[in-house]
Structure 1
């Protein structure tokens, strides 16, 4: 089976698995305990904070470990909004954010926050003038994902960050699809909060992190919590966090070479297809190197995905967090596609194991599926 759904999840790397096992055996102490077992486990967590913070040019005091990207989004958005309600009750986001962002903002709406949605252009980009138009004196927070998981389009973070810094507005970004794959600099982009996840970068599932700028004030979602400086309840997942950190370190070292390799695979794919039948969606160049958002005219994505599966290729029809839902991709409709066009979407995403042979085989399979569909 050829796996081409790396944006949904990745297999754990051998190094990450080794570190997980070693930490589970040797650092099993509760990091909150005051004896030596607890101290050594806590030291491992502290070193992990240092390492993760360095990768985004942040400070170790700003790293908080969580159970993954969705919880990171939930906790960071609620903590920042509730902790700064005195400054304003208006939050700006887009309609193409991850469900965990939109669902968390729905909760804040019930608490009296006003949520505005900045439109995106046909590529899925936030245009600065449109964002500026939404800002008012009550705007306290803006949440815009670094790259959309369905379209693959990367936002201009520095530009957005500069606009928000000038207006003293907090900037949160879901960086689950970009952490370890695209450079992230919290200082250059004036980011107040960043969300990260381990299982997208060959680490374990059930582990993630949030970066909250140490200058930021926030309010704990559950009062009197002690773990993670009150940010989150629960005993620290020491082996998971150690495995996450080593996986992230490996990604960070390989970032440039892997990006170039994936860009070559992306180009090989695009040069091999019939562009009149298979259309690339999202931004043509300002996009994730390992990601392809495609639309095959007149054929539902679900059908293509099942036919690929029959031929031993795993692809997806969008975000894995919307499984069981038959509604078309919201990201596609927000970029101006009709409902029928949105249903035609498929997503192909590469990873470490993807080869040129895999790409050629997939292109041949797609051509065969299209030909068979139209000949019936």
Structure 2
């Protein structure tokens, strides 16, 4: 098996699995219980909160654990809007966001909140000028992803934040794809709230977190909830959270090394597609934009992305496509279309994403399959 879909989900590391098993066996009390077993679970949570706050360059009382990235985005956005005054009923997001962000905003629209969805420039970047044109006196919240999971394009949040601070507009970011891959600091980014997820950093699925700055006047989505200071209801999943933090600590400690490994693989792939004369165009870093090193967005001329994905799947190679299927209708991804591409070009998009176990041999197997596909297209033996 050649797994090249780490941006979608990662395997669980041995360290995270060990912590998960240990907590399942030794720390199964409810963290809200008043007896000693509950106290031990609460001690683990307290450590996890402190550790994650340190990793994010924030404060422990700003950490709220969730079930994953989707819930983190939805609860963060809706909780913030619940706490804003009545005259702040306008929100802004982008065309490239994760579906969970669009779901949260769609839900707000049903409650009379005005929604503005902005598009990036030709390079896929939201610039201060683009954002400023969308701001209104009643704007209360802006949500812009840190980096896109399909294209890997990183948004310059630190250059956008001062524009919002000046107008006392709250700033949320979906950092699910960047946490553990590059440096993510609440202070450096200038955001008020941030969402992350466990299964992108080699931890089990089922955990995530929201960071809320102390100045954010959020109010619960679920009234009466007591877990996580009222942020969400439900028994706190201590074993999964413990594994999440163990994996996060490991990912952050290795981030520079992994960044170098991903960069080497990226350069090798780009070099090889030229040497093998493959009809593949890639999104890449330039003076205008930066892209996460572990994600390569490609356009394979003459092939739809889903055809390439399925052809690779038959060879035991797993990657993904930026397109989506709904009710039998095949259509290009909004994130890819936001790059101002035609439907034809957008449907050719595929995503390759690296991880810890990715090797040059994996890349060679992928390239060999690409070569065979191109020969097949040209009618060669």
* Alignment correspondent of 2:44: 44
* Alignment correspondent of 1:366: 370
The equivalences for 1:291-306 within 5 A come to: 291-306=295-310
TM-score (ref. length: structure 1): 0.97
* Alignment correspondent of 2:176: 176
TM-score (ref. length: structure 2): 0.95
- Quick one: distance in 1 between partners of 2:328 and 2:133? 36
* Alignment correspondent of 2:111: 111
* Alignment correspondent of 1:88: 88
Matched, 1:207 2:207: yes
Q: What's the RMSD between the two structures over aligned residues? A: 1.7
- Quick one: distance in 2 between partners of 1:316 and 1:197? 19
The answer on whether the counterparts of 1:152 and 1:282 sit within 8 Å (CA) in structure 2 is no
Please list every run of 5 or more consecutive structure 1 residues that lacks an aligned counterpart in the other structure.
none
- What secondary structure, in the 3-state scheme, does the structure 2 residue paired with 1:210 have? strand
Matched, 1:354 2:364: no
Displacement, 1:320? 8.7
Matched, 1:148 2:148: yes
The answer on whether the counterparts of 2:324 and 2:331 sit within 8 Å (CA) in structure 1 is no
- What secondary structure, in the 3-state scheme, does the structure 2 residue paired with 1:33 have? coil
Displacement, 1:191? 1.0
Aligned length: 376
- What secondary structure, in the 3-state scheme, does the structure 1 residue paired with 2:187 have? coil
* Alignment correspondent of 1:331: 335
Find runs of 4+ consecutive structure 1 residues off by over 6 angstroms. Answer: 319-325
* Alignment correspondent of 1:341: 345
Please list every run of 5 or more consecutive structure 2 residues that lacks an aligned counterpart in the other structure.
none
- What secondary structure, in the 3-state scheme, does the structure 1 residue paired with 2:254 have? helix
- Quick one: distance in 2 between partners of 1:232 and 1:273? 48
The answer on whether the counterparts of 2:89 and 2:138 sit within 8 Å (CA) in structure 1 is yes
Displacement, 1:369? 1.0
Displacement, 1:319? 7.7
Per-residue displacement from partner, 1:319-357 (whole Å, max 9, x unpaired)?
A: 899898732111111111111111101000000000111
- Quick one: distance in 2 between partners of 1:41 and 1:206? 17
The answer on whether the counterparts of 1:15 and 1:247 sit within 8 Å (CA) in structure 2 is yes
The equivalences for 1:224-235 within 5 A come to: 224-235=224-235
- Quick one: distance in 2 between partners of 1:348 and 1:20? 29
* Alignment correspondent of 1:9: 9
- Quick one: distance in 1 between partners of 2:182 and 2:130? 25
Answer with 319-328 or 222-231: which moved more. Answer: 319-328
Per-residue displacement from partner, 1:86-121 (whole Å, max 9, x unpaired)?
A: 351110110110000001100001111111112102
CA separation of 1:130/1:369 partners in 2, compared to 1, >3 Å: closer, same or farther?
Answer: same
Answer with 4-13 or 331-340: which moved more. Answer: 331-340
The answer on whether the counterparts of 2:323 and 2:331 sit within 8 Å (CA) in structure 1 is no
